[in-house]
Structure 1
């Protein structure tokens, strides 16, 4: 996997380290990024099922109203 180097505010990184309970700055930031990506995938999965169900409801023939 390719690696990149970025500069971050030290206070931000220390806060992430404390909240995550991880001693290495790189590992702490990597854990946050991985969690963010995983959360996005979970959200996509949930909304996909909801959207699919709504499409199925819309596709069903409607009873005459009135």
Structure 2
């Protein structure tokens, strides 16, 4: 897997490490990013069908009004 180097505020990283209970800054940030991505996938799976149904309703031709 490709690696990316980024700079983060040290206080932010330390807070993430404490909250996650992870001693390594790299591992703590990686855990947060992985959790964020997984949460996004869960949300998509939960709301995907609803969004698809709403798009189908919006796509149907509407009767003339007025």
Give the TM-score, by structure 1 length. 0.76
Unaligned runs of 5+ in 2: 58-66
Deviations 1:15-53 (A, max 9, x none): 000000000000000000000000000000000133356
Aligned structure 1 segments of 4 or more residues deviating by more than 3 angstroms: 51-56
Instruction: Return the alpha-carbon distance in structure 2 between the equivalents of residues 38 and 8 of structure 1.
Output: 22
Give the TM-score, by structure 2 length. 0.76
Residue 1 (structure 2) pairs with residue 11 (structure 1): no
CA RMSD, Structure 1 to Structure 2 (Å)? 1.6
Where 1:39 maps in the other structure, the secondary structure is helix
